[in-house]
Every structure is written in structure tokens, then in C-alpha cells.
Amino acid sequence: MKKISTKGEDYQKYYKQLILKKIGIIGQRKIINSKVLVIGAGGLGCPLILYLAYSGVGNIGIVDHDIIEISNLSRQILFTKRDIGKKKVIVAKKIIKKINNKITVDIYKNKIDKNNIDQIGKNYPIICDGTDNFKTRYLINDYCIKNKKILISAAINKFDGQLFNFDFRNKSACFRCFMPQIPNDEVNCQSDGIMTTLAGMAGSLQANEVIKSILNIKSKKKGNLLIFNSLNSDFRTVKLLKNPDCKNKNLHG
Ligand SMILES: [Zn+2]
């Protein structure tokens, strides 16, 4: 258990955050000792990782098999032109270490799949999904529900975003309740376009939910879906109900 001394660097660094009554030194210590896995270091993962690192999350895992391309540079704010051709996870780790070299960063260069998800996910109570396809979303959802993880998930398209906070330590609706099967017109940001600032909004909202989960701060978003739009800056919360026909109904009741 890492501690924070009032004379140490961490105390000064996180002072503005730890003087907040709802956080305090004890809360900041929880953040420093937390373990969060980010799946996907793209448009969502980049702002998410930055805010986790700047908040002081002490153990960050990142899964991504992609190489940085020029078309990533409009949204993926961990990367610059000189990183083109490099592995995303390697550059992301370097940036985190620059922000705080005491953060433990574990990187996984393979695409997440049913054969490696148990091994990669086992040490992380909180898992963030920032992937861009439904097949992986279902895989992560099913893994998290089976292993009673907290899953903070976001999805973005054009000007619209969605944010989910599932706490599977309790019986909760899941992503399959919301979307039982892959829609015929599956779209992702490669084919459909995406507003740069929308990615920033969604990744930051994910980081915010992660920190509240670590601190056990009650979140109105838990078990609900937040739908937002970057054009009209509209945010609305929709209650997520358990689907009686959900494939996971034996796990979430
Ligand atoms: Zn379900």
C-alpha cells in the first residue's frame, strides 16, 4: 500500500484534489493504489489515460495492438506526428511515465480476444472499454459480468456519445441488455466521422466515472446510460433496465 506523506511530493502534486472533502488524503491514497485497465488507446483511450495519470491512478494497464497513423492525430491526443509508425501502447506508456514515473504501467500489445482476456484482466477491478467494434464490446461486457468487475464504457459516433457505468459487483443490467445483437448497419469512426472534441468529452467522462468508482462516490450514472451530443451540448440520462431475454440473465438476474 503506497502512502502519502504531508511532506512528500505527492501531497504537493495532488494538493488541489486532496483538499476536497469528498477526496482527502485517504481518497488520494485509494486513487494511487488503484488498478485500472484501459482497452483501446484511441480517441477515447487517449484522454482517458491522460486524466487517469494526472489524477494519480497508480497502476494503469493498456491494451492496444495498433500502430499510430496520421489519421489518428486529430483525436488521439497522446500522439504527435513523430510517433507515426510506432506502437500506441509504447508511446502511451512513455507519456504516462513523463507525467508521473511512479505510476506502474503494464502494456499489452495483442488484440484482446477470448483467449487472452482472463490473463490480461485478472489484476484489474476496474476495466474501461474504449474499443470501436461490437464484437469486442460484447467480449469485454461478458468477461466483466462473469468476474464481477466495474466496467466503464463509452462509445462515440459523429456528434453523439454514450457513457455506461456498470458495477457488476452488484446485480446490474449489462451492455447486452441495451444492445442484444450487433446492428446490421454497424458503423465505427473509421467509416463515419467523429468530432474531435466529442472524443475528448467522452474519454474525460469515462475518467471521471473511474475516479468516482475508486472513491466509492455514489454515481447517478451507475447502471444508467448517459447520452450526450457535442453540437447542442445536450446531456440526458436514460435508465437501463435488465432485459429478461438477455444472454447474461443467469449472471445478472
Ligand atoms: Zn444483460
Q: Give the model confidence (pLDDT) of 61-120 as tens digits.
A: 999 999 999 999 999 999 999 999 999 999 999 999 999 999 999 999 999 999 999 999
State the pairing for strand pair 104-108/126-129.
Answer: unpaired
pLDDT tens sequence across 139-190 = 999 999 999 999 999 999 999 999 999 999 998 999 999 999 888 766 544 5
DSSP assignment of 42-68, as one string? STTHHHHHHHHHHHT-SEEEEE---B-
**Is it the case that residue 207 has pLDDT exceeding 70?**
yes
Q: What is the dihedral of CA 45, 47, 50, 55, to 10 degrees?
A: -110
Q: What is the dihedral of CA 87, 190, 227, 180, to 10 degrees?
A: -100
CA of 70 to the centre of ligand 1 (A): 37
Predicted local distance difference test score (pLDDT) of residue 2 = 83
pLDDT tens sequence across 14-61 = 999 999 999 999 999 999 999 999 999 999 999 999 999 999 999 999
Q: What is the maximum span of the chain, computed from C-alpha positions, in angstroms?
A: 58
CA of 203 to the centre of ligand 1 (A): 24
Within 10 angstroms of residue 104's Cβ, the number of other Cβ atoms is 12
Q: What is the dihedral of CA 48, 52, 53, 56, to 10 degrees?
A: 170
Predicted local distance difference test score (pLDDT) of residue 189 = 46
- Closest to 74 in 3D by CA, of 191, 200, 205, 230: 200
Predicted local distance difference test score (pLDDT) of residue 185 = 67
In terms of CATH architecture, what is 23-252? 3-Layer(aba) Sandwich (3.40)
More confident residue, 198 or 5: 198
CA of 176 to the centre of ligand 1 (A): 5
CA of 143 to the centre of ligand 1 (A): 12
- Residues, CB-to-ion distance under 5 Å, ligand 1: 174, 176-177, 246, 248
Predicted local distance difference test score (pLDDT) of residue 46 = 98
Predicted local distance difference test score (pLDDT) of residue 48 = 98
**Is it the case that residue 210 has pLDDT exceeding 90?**
yes
**Is it the case that residue 222 has pLDDT exceeding 80?**
no
